[in-house]
Structure 1
Amino acid sequence: MTTRSSKYVGVFAALVLILVPAPFPAAQPQSAMSASTQPSLADVLEDVTPAVVNIAVRSRASAETNPLYNDPFFRRYFNPPEQQQRLSAGSGVIVDANKGYILTNHHVVADAGEIAVTLKDRRRFTAELVGSDEATDIALLKIDADKLTALSFGDSGALRVGDPVVAIGNPFGLGQTVTSGIVSALGRGGINVEGYEDFIQTDASINPGNSGGALVTADGLLVGVNTSIIAPTGGNVGIGFAVPIAMASAVMEQLIEHGEVRRGRIGISVQDLTPDLAEALSIEESYGAVVGNVEKDSPAEQAGLRAGDVIIAVNNRKITGSADLRNRVGLAQVGSEVEIELLRDRVRNTVSMRIEPDKAIAKPGAMPARLEGAEFQDAAGNVVVSSVEDGSAAARAGLRMGDVIVAANRRPIATVAELETALKNASGTIALDLFRAGSKHLLVIR
């Protein structure tokens, strides 16, 4: 019995020795452990966050009215609709401390009656709207203030999928908030219906109120202006978008100089270089824009461009497709020189041309009645549907704002004038070849 008891006592003692933890090493200071084992963005953010501001917008909107007020007979029985004040909030980022320039989104300040900017140190200023561009969703504000902090621009064109980024803004009016993530994708389109887009996609949370805030790299450089999210459930699902700073800064320069964006053109219509086209043209490149038509007396024709040329770079930066080319040309300063690198018969050539102003807009009544309610505008060698009135004949026919029309009744077109000519006296079916959200469609209107 004693032996058995001793045996079990020995086993129990061994178990105790296994289960009792070994003594802890001498305690280290918490700050030393954190600094050595956990990388932090805190030091970078201390320098960056003072450049991100809260924007409060006061605007006026018509109050809800009885639908009968729109009827001239019944209108006399109702009081006129009153204007109601509307408050909204967003974010912005200081990009010039000396001049007080602040980048934000167009949709943050659209229809604003009064714009107030609050800095991180709680100073509050009334802001002047320098200019705004709906097509890129970029606006520029100015405040008269000293001791401002501005962010330096990074190279958004050098971003890679997987690069760490930080989104800074004022979500839900909670105050300045920082979220981190990575670059999930580049060159995203189909978000802004106007079509001037080349979005950076990120999984860093961008919630309501973050619009206009900063997207920065891990070393504190500004690479994007946060603009929108995909929210099928109404909340953030990890798919946010930012306007690249290269595009935002180009818009800013024009807003400072002109108070608006004056888009340029070179007089060509283009389409994406697809694998099938690359095979047909016997070229190895997998990116670029194929010239479909060259407008007579345009800068492109004067520079010697021809149908079938494949544009692969503008000013030494590669072109990923037709939308990318449209962005580069449309946002270039009118009158500036651009270098176009192209492939012709598998031989590389570089030509220079001057950007000319993009002015043509379709006049009311110039199009068939079946397209009434739509406005068309020249844009970088294409015809863009710049607006479609709700409930109009054009809307019922299926046209959408942002559609890029490249052919009418199988006739290639590059300008509004050519579209008008192609559809002049059209009494039968109208067939429009167009691009929508990056995909080609054939819209048949009877």
Structure 2
Amino acid sequence: MQSHAKTIARRVTPVPAAALRLFLALMLGLGLALAQVVAAHAQGAPASFAGLADKISPAVVNITTSTVVAAPTQNSPMVPEGSPFEDFFRDFMDPQKRGEGPRRSEALGSGFVISEDGYIVTNNHVIEGADDIQVEFFSGKKLEAKIVGTDPKTDIALLKVQSDTPLPFVSFGNSDLARVGDWVVAMGNPLGQGFSVSAGIVSARNRALSGTYDDYIQTDAAINRGNSGGPLFNMDGQVIGVNTAILSPNGGSIGIGFSMASNVVVKVVQQLREFGETRRGWLGVRIQDVTPDVAEAIGLKDAKGALVTDVPEGPAKVAGMVAGDVIVQFDGAPVADTRDLVRRVADAPIGQAVKVVVMREGKTRSLSITLGRREEAEGEGPAAGAGPAAPVEPTSADLLGLTVSALTAEQAQELGLPGATEGLAITKVDAASEAYTKGLREGDLITEAGQQKVATIKDLEDRIQEAREAGRKSLLLLIRRGGDPRFVALTVAE
């Protein structure tokens, strides 16, 4: 072993000191560069969110709404008028005398200030039907708010308060820059507990729940009832989403929350601020996605674009569009699918001509279409009494462990909802059912099933049948309780 060591020593060529110093300097520089690259691509969690919370808290608000609802009548004992027990039962069942007339019902939510002169963004469902809106600031200051405008399609509302001094506010960021895995912070008033901060990451992008213009950011930051309307911040303190809904089997946060992307919200807020209402473009067609088999049948290379299934009276028909056309470009950019087209048409200016390229019989054609306004088009319903008489609708039905009935104006009033609200009221829940286990209760309202609106019992029956025929095991229901929405999946297997 000693001989071998010596042999190795004799083979080593001495290195000049200057060259050695240069080599070590180069290696040190390379090491620092590699360390910076690794740090840039593998940053850990922030040491603290305290600085960010201090910066943004003053612009986040708690919102309390109230409205007058009819006196509760459910579960009251049937006592003959004039009975000697009448007063006893009235005092026993309603010791606070609430049943003597209408009462005021309160609800809680969140919001955030977007300008020093008092414009505030929240969810539409937070303030819907309210006749009194109170805003509480982080400082404890309280102001009354007025509604500037609402957009139920994106569940966004714009409020305004009058303040003697400029208000702290936050700015919107570009939600398209948010990446899956980025840190985010949610602020609001969860479960009425007051100002609260929760942190998480962006779990997914471009989620669509039930609306035409949905573009939700999914996050695992804790979002609960009362967080609705509150902001979702990036690490620069910019609002990249408005916390709107959660997916939960029990009504509490399980790490699946949804925030409407700021790039959708900004456009809505701008229109509400300028006009007090939304003004979306309208093409005037019925469309469906292009499937691979449809693409092959009509000679399209890729399954992209929007297939026109019907062209009623409207801008597209005037321009010469026909059923069977495939819209492949809109206003100079390719169309990916129906969702992409609908959102871009909505954002396009009303009353201005846009270039629309369609594929027809294997050839492209360019059409110049002057867009109408969607809100006006949707307001033009069929004339009263037109069409065949509708079949008689059953008053209630037992489905998925639930007894449901079409929501009446009286029930809407009892639940503190606007009279025009549509949905199915849950009047009973089988205690042994999956629905009961997942937290559904009497008084809840089903407004959507399978991401489609339901207003009648037949609507729900159709959605159940469609799910079964498609081989799906469950059906996603959108449930509202006290104005707060959440999704619940129920098994539909026969």
Q: Shorter-chain TM-score: what band?
A: 0.5 to 0.7
Does structure 1 residue 136 correspond to structure 2 residue 144?
A: no
Does structure 1 residue 96 correspond to structure 2 residue 112?
A: no
- The answer (yes or no) to whether the contact 1:109–1:115 under 8 Å persists in 2 is yes
- The answer (yes or no) to whether the contact 1:291–1:307 under 8 Å persists in 2 is yes
Counterparts of residues 156-195 of structure 1 (less than 5 Å): 156-191=175-210, 195=212
Q: Which residue of 1 aligns with 2:250?
A: 233
Provide the C-alpha distance between the structure 2 equivalents of 1:394 and 1:369, rounded to a whole number of angstroms. Answer: 17
Provide the C-alpha distance between the structure 2 equivalents of 1:154 and 1:346, rounded to a whole number of angstroms. Answer: 41
- The answer (yes or no) to whether the contact 2:201–2:220 under 8 Å persists in 1 is yes
Equivalent of residue 310 in structure 2, options 289, 293, 308: 293
- The answer (yes or no) to whether the contact 2:351–2:370 under 8 Å persists in 1 is no
Query: TM-score, normalized by length of structure 1?
Result: 0.67
Provide the C-alpha distance between the structure 2 equivalents of 1:256 and 1:151, rounded to a whole number of angstroms. Answer: 16
Equivalent of residue 140 in structure 2, options 102, 122, 144: 122
Does structure 1 residue 278 correspond to structure 2 residue 286?
A: no
Equivalent of residue 361 in structure 1, options 378, 381, 384: 381
Does structure 1 residue 395 correspond to structure 2 residue 456?
A: yes
Equivalent of residue 147 in structure 1, options 158, 166, 174: 166
Q: 1:349 to 1:337 in 2, by over 3 A?
A: closer
- The answer (yes or no) to whether the contact 2:185–2:200 under 8 Å persists in 1 is yes
Tell me, which stretches of 5 or more residues in structure 2 are unaligned? 1-42, 91-96, 394-405, 407-419, 427-453, 464-475, 478-494
Q: Which residue of 2 aligns with 1:251?
A: 268
Provide the C-alpha distance between the structure 1 equivalents of 2:152 and 2:114, rounded to a whole number of angstroms. Answer: 20
Q: 1:277 to 1:262 in 2, by over 3 A?
A: same
Shift of 1:389: 7.5
Q: Which residue of 1 aligns with 2:55?
A: 47
Provide the C-alpha distance between the structure 2 equivalents of 1:313 and 1:122, rounded to a whole number of angstroms. Answer: 52
Query: Secondary structure in 2 aligned to 1:172?
Result: helix
Q: Which residue of 1 aligns with 2:338?
A: 322
Query: Secondary structure in 2 aligned to 1:329?
Result: helix
Provide the C-alpha distance between the structure 1 equivalents of 2:62 and 2:125, rounded to a whole number of angstroms. Answer: 15
Shift of 1:200: 2.1
- The answer (yes or no) to whether the contact 2:422–2:455 under 8 Å persists in 1 is no
Q: 1:217 to 1:395 in 2, by over 3 A?
A: same
Q: 1:350 to 1:396 in 2, by over 3 A?
A: same
Q: 1:144 to 1:232 in 2, by over 3 A?
A: same
Shift of 1:107: 1.1
Provide the C-alpha distance between the structure 1 equivalents of 2:137 and 2:389, rounded to a whole number of angstroms. Answer: 52
Aligned AA for 1:49? S
Provide the C-alpha distance between the structure 1 equivalents of 2:372 and 2:63, rounded to a whole number of angstroms. Answer: 35
- The answer (yes or no) to whether the contact 1:167–1:216 under 8 Å persists in 2 is yes
* Per-residue CA distance 1:96-121 (angstroms, 9 max, x = gap): 223x1111011111121211111122
- The answer (yes or no) to whether the contact 2:350–2:370 under 8 Å persists in 1 is no
Give the superposed CA RMSD.
Answer: 4.1
- The answer (yes or no) to whether the contact 1:338–1:355 under 8 Å persists in 2 is no
Provide the C-alpha distance between the structure 2 equivalents of 1:326 and 1:386, rounded to a whole number of angstroms. Answer: 25
- The answer (yes or no) to whether the contact 1:133–1:261 under 8 Å persists in 2 is yes
Q: 1:112 to 1:388 in 2, by over 3 A?
A: closer
Provide the C-alpha distance between the structure 1 equivalents of 2:462 and 2:196, rounded to a whole number of angstroms. Answer: 34
Provide the C-alpha distance between the structure 2 equivalents of 1:84 and 1:335, rounded to a whole number of angstroms. Answer: 47
Q: Which residue of 2 aligns with 1:113?
A: 131
Provide the C-alpha distance between the structure 1 equivalents of 2:151 and 2:219, rounded to a whole number of angstroms. Answer: 23
Q: Which residue of 2 aligns with 1:202?
A: 219
Query: Secondary structure in 2 aligned to 1:398?
Result: helix
Q: How many aligned residue pairs are there?
A: 355
Counterparts of residues 3-22 of structure 1 (less than 5 Å): none
Aligned AA for 1:131? G
Tell me, which stretches of 5 or more residues in structure 1 are unaligned? 1-34, 375-384, 403-435, 438-446
Shift of 1:224: 1.4
* Per-residue CA distance 1:325-356 (angstroms, 9 max, x = gap): 33443465643555546556475958553233
Shift of 1:292: 1.8
Does structure 1 residue 84 correspond to structure 2 residue 103?
A: yes
* Per-residue CA distance 1:381-408 (angstroms, 9 max, x = gap): xxxx9946769x9723336999xxxxxx
Q: 1:275 to 1:395 in 2, by over 3 A?
A: same
Percentage of identical aligned residues = 38
- The answer (yes or no) to whether the contact 2:355–2:366 under 8 Å persists in 1 is no
Provide the C-alpha distance between the structure 1 equivalents of 2:381 and 2:100, rounded to a whole number of angstroms. Answer: 34
Provide the C-alpha distance between the structure 1 equivalents of 2:356 and 2:297, rounded to a whole number of angstroms. Answer: 22
- The answer (yes or no) to whether the contact 1:372–1:394 under 8 Å persists in 2 is no
Equivalent of residue 335 in structure 1, options 339, 351, 354: 351
Aligned AA for 2:67? S
Aligned AA for 2:224? N
Does structure 1 residue 307 correspond to structure 2 residue 320?
A: no
Counterparts of residues 411-426 of structure 1 (less than 5 Å): none
Query: TM-score, normalized by length of structure 2?
Result: 0.61
Q: 1:349 to 1:44 in 2, by over 3 A?
A: farther
- The answer (yes or no) to whether the contact 1:388–1:399 under 8 Å persists in 2 is no
Provide the C-alpha distance between the structure 2 equivalents of 1:173 and 1:337, rounded to a whole number of angstroms. Answer: 49
Provide the C-alpha distance between the structure 2 equivalents of 1:278 and 1:131, rounded to a whole number of angstroms. Answer: 42
Q: 1:401 to 1:285 in 2, by over 3 A?
A: same
Provide the C-alpha distance between the structure 2 equivalents of 1:221 and 1:302, rounded to a whole number of angstroms. Answer: 43
Q: 1:253 to 1:320 in 2, by over 3 A?
A: same
- The answer (yes or no) to whether the contact 1:371–1:394 under 8 Å persists in 2 is no
Provide the C-alpha distance between the structure 2 equivalents of 1:372 and 1:363, rounded to a whole number of angstroms. Answer: 20
Provide the C-alpha distance between the structure 2 equivalents of 1:115 and 1:95, rounded to a whole number of angstroms. Answer: 18
